[in-house]
Structure 1
Amino acid sequence: MISLPDWHRRYTQQAGWTQSLRNYLYNLCSLAKARSVLEVGCGTGAILQDLIAYAKSLWPVGVDIEIEKVRFASRLSPQAHLVAANALSLPFASGVFDVTLCHFFLMWVDAPAALMEMKRVTAPGGILLALAEPDYGGRIDYPEPLAELGQWQTRALREQGADPLMGRKLRALFSGAGLRAIQSGVLGGHWQDSPAGEDLDLEWSVLRSDLQYRVDDRRLNFWEEQDRQAWKEGTRVLFVPTFYAVGMVP
């Protein structure tokens, strides 16, 4: 079981992966000029903190279905307004937000329905923004023995109800939702130093949580040893294509 503080570390880690992309998208949609911003699926508030740091005059709204994470985010970001609610039935009037966004979220829900609800609460001329959605169908693992690990993680995500191919579907989903001026793309990969020890520990905590009832400990231990050794030797490549999309509400 992963603790709430560790979930926050995980969400913060994910936010670190997409920081440069988010800055680009914030500038693209003139986020600093927005009067009202909603994050759907805010979790423990990692992105809310980023929004506040980017535009200090902003008082963003965050929604998540898990009350414990909402409480955590509320303590962490008192400048934000937090609400526990279902993304498929947002407790807001129509057209009240200038920007509505999400981050690593649509893969976990009924994406077409969630997008339509996000569109509903966004004002005409406002922006709908999917900051990051992965596509595990394009995952690359190297050295070769670790490719099986990637396949098992993809299978585990699907069994948990996620759509591991969400990234490639984003543009079609935005088009199907009737959004205009759609822009989409994929975050490039780059590898420099090995991840910090605590980051690698956290990654393996998540992997073991996902795979503990699906793969025996012997195989997990082998993969972890191979993974850590490859990072140490500078031979590890791990790339999961991560897509974004932005569109305007007509």
Structure 2
Amino acid sequence: MNEGFCPDKCPHYYEEFVKEIHFSRSFRKQIYETIELKKAKRILEIGSRIGIISQELREFSDAQITAIDADHLMIAEASDRVKGVEFFRSSEDKLTMRDESFDAVICHYFFIWKPKPFASLMEMIRVCKKGGYIVALAEPDYGGWIEHPNLGLGEYHQKAIKQHGGNPNFGRSLQSIFSSAGLETKKHINSRIWDKEELENNIANEWFNIKKENLITDDEYNSKVEKELKLIQDNLRIIALPIFTAIGKKVVIQQNVIDPYDDL
């Protein structure tokens, strides 16, 4: 069973996860203010990995914070690097917590890796108190990837994510599953645009990761990187990735909700 994102299997997508965290910190601060995180008494983070978001939550709130992940190595590292947060290994799809235990349930780059995202969301809703918030801080949508000129990097990323059991186009579905679950939902879309320095520092590694997935040959890799560097040098390269956010308030307990994925 796919328990979610596994950085040991696809570490380059974990690198993207970390880059996005630094890129969107100021935006997340606005979200924490919107949901009045400072007033929360208990917070749960799902899919905490090495605790980067957990540490940020600790900085913004005095609440009791619990963070879970399916990978025991990630939990061990997070426990060493972040203090004041209770980390433990747990299935992310069948939570062991009691109903209505938390004021806020938070995740980041989580649903993109879930084979049954709606079921995962319903578990998050179950353990959230009425009037509390379920927040997906960031879910990318590689189907909305923009690059010019088009060298196919976005299409290769989609193929690679699918190879690891993820849904590269999930971001656009975020509002649908939140609303279908009965949450009072607000959505946001940010576009992460790579500047020239980021392109220069990372583009060769982006294509190397595609090569590691056996999607291109060594010769194709060399050709792609040569073209990329020339375009970047001439300031002709554009890459952007849409990042979706959803804030869901648990206003009522819904009965017989419909999984929107059943119709796909």
TM beyond 0.5: yes
CA contact (8 A) 2:208 2:221 kept: no
* C-alpha contact 2:44 2:66 (8 A) present in aligned 1: yes
CA contact (8 A) 2:105 2:128 kept: yes
Q: How does 1:51-200 map to 2 (within 5 A)?
A: 51-55=57-61, 57-109=62-114, 110-144=116-150, 147-180=151-184, 182-190=185-193, 192-195=195-198
Cα gap change, 1:84 to 1:199, in 2 (>3 Å)? farther
> What is residue 25 of structure 2 aligned with on the other side?
19
Counterpart amino acid of residue 145 in structure 2: R
Measured in 2, the distance between the counterparts of 1:3 and 1:201 equals 20
CA contact (8 A) 1:142 1:237 kept: yes
What letter corresponds to residue 84 of structure 1 in structure 2?
R
| Residue 39 of structure 1 pairs with residue 42 of structure 2 | no
The verdict on how the C-alpha distance between 1:5 and 1:139 changes in structure 2, with shifts beyond 3 A counting, is closer
SS state of the match for residue 198, structure 2?
Answer: coil
Q: CA deviation at 1:203?
A: 4.6
Aligned partner of 1:31: which letter? L
Question: Does residue 1:247 correspond to 2:253, yes or no?
Answer: no
Residues of 2 paired with 1:202 and 1:32: CA distance? 39
Counterpart AA for 1:141: E
Range moving further from structure 2, 99-108 or 188-197: 188-197
- RMSD of the TM alignment (CA)? 2.6
Matched residues, number: 244
Per-residue CA deviations over 1:120-176 (Å, capped at 9, x if unaligned) read: 1111110000111111111111223xx312111111111211111111101110011
Q: 1:202 to 1:95 in 2, by over 3 A?
A: farther
Spell out, residue by residue over 1:179-228, the C-alpha distance to the aligned partner (whole angstroms, 9 max, x if none).
Answer: 12x1002013445451287655765564444xx32221221232233334
Gaps of 5+ in 1: none
Deviation (angstroms), 1:79: 1.4
Identity of aligned residues (%): 28
Taking structure 1 as the reference length, the TM-score comes to 0.87
TM-score (norm 2): 0.82
Q: Which consecutive residues of structure 2, in runs of 5 or more, have no partner in the other structure?
A: 1-6, 252-264
